[in-house]
Chains A and B, each alone.
Chain A
Amino acid sequence: MLKLTETQIKMLEEIANLHHTPEGAYNIRTNGESAGRASTENIKITSKEDVSGIDIRIKPGTKDETVYIPVVISETGMKEVVYNDFYIGEGADVTIVAGCGIDNCGAHDSEHDGVHRFFVGKNAVCRYVEKHYGSGVGTGKRILNPVTEVYQEENSYMEMEMVQIKGVDDTDRRTVAELAAGAKMVVRERLMTHDDQRAISLYDVKLNGDDSSADVVSRSVARDNSYQKFDATVVGNAACSGHTECDSIIMDKGTILAVPGLEANNVDAELVHEAAIGKIAGDQLMKLMTLGLTEQEAEEQIINGFLK
């Protein structure tokens, strides 16, 4: 059994839906150290020599395995940069559950900057799930600045689900991807900011091979005085298709900036961008109120559904 505090256990449930030590391969990082690690026949996790972080090597043809690599910070003032590299072998089909939770009860800022690189082999399928969460009553900020690089070989498939619903004060997310022929990338981002939080999400996806495609969709809610920027650029360098979408609900004194970016360098590139920002529709509130909900209850239901 791993040695974890109550708070850390709660965090792991929140970010990775883990209720006990995971089966299969995992690496649980708490306050800058590995609290537990396991490799399997097909998935090897090793520490990096030069910098803080791990290499995750997944053998070609590995099927239906899940790797957990959650990170928890529960010490105030903790700052770390971690480099994780994922090598997903040809034809593998795996799920990677990441996620980072910061509980800051102190006065100093806590920060986790994770640099993830994915090398997705030919015909490989990878589902990546990442949840960010902050808690704690301290005045110190909870800061997360993830950098994700994705390199997809021919006919590979990468699906990324990224969720940040609560408690992260400041986040600056950068995701870059390069796709070879026939590769497909699907991104689903869900974000809610509240109080004085700030969240930036920047994508730069290059579709380099024929028949490659990317679908990047963000749903977000900005409440209170929070600020969000969604900046998604898709570059079509081949006969490819790209779609980005930003669908946002703005509330209170929130600010949302959606920056569409499409660059076509090939006559057969088909690129689409959609963006919509607006407050909760009045008739949605009214419908739920006619069912007996108060206006606040109706708002909560609408937002929960929207971000589900």
Chain B
Amino acid sequence: MSATATAATASAASPAYLALNNIEVIYDHVILVLKGVSLQVPKGHIVALLGANGAGKTTTLKTISNLLRAERGEVTKGSVEFEGRRIDQLTPNELVRRGVIQVMEGRHCFAHLTVEENLLTGAYTRTGSRAEIRDSLEKVYEFFPRLKQRRTSQAGYTSGGEQQMTAIGRALMARPSMILLDEPSMGLAPQIVEEIFEIVRNLNQREGVSILLAEQNTMVALRYADFGYILENGRVVMEGEARELASNEDVKEFYLGLAKEGRKSFRDVKHYRRRKRWLA
């Protein structure tokens, strides 16, 4: 497959910054969810992790950020490396200090804290002075001017888009070098999705933050990413340059809901319809 060939050259050109090698994950001791996932994020790039409901995207991100243990998930095989060193035994606190942070699916803002307080909690792991933290806060407001307007509102009462921005801004306050971004488009209007993706791209280009982006919204994600992996049932089934994936016939067919009979369940078809609306 030509896509795989490019993948090899791409990762040869820029050495892997974050690398998952042959990861296997089991929930509750019996449910095998990831069946040997390998992927790489080169420094300073946006890599998309695509796939349908239940493919294992969130599980993959949680493997990296080590949030699996809190959900009775366990990595039974494989390794995770960041900047050439293994990180699979680090706690989330240690990972955030190293620069790896996850923005969880579904936003998860602290509902009773104000937007600004939410952002400030993101600086928990930092030891810098108050002035430094204020600087970061101003920087976050530059990226998300809307948050500045809503800074004193309780986060629980802000819109979905604002909550997503708060969640990303909160992660930025930790000064990460690698953000694991889980479905930022979930439940948001197409226009807001574009706005958020533009900001994510800005972050990547101006601050050099590397991003691993899990998305169901394939076509939008591929427009902003440099590289993509497609997960199905806990396995990587396709990978390649984002532009090539976007024009790949299989991907188009699959994600426009025109797949061959019997390949997908009814549930899947339903959610392709939803996506089709967004693509229009």
A and B associate in one complex: no
Interface residues of A (CB under 8 A from B): none
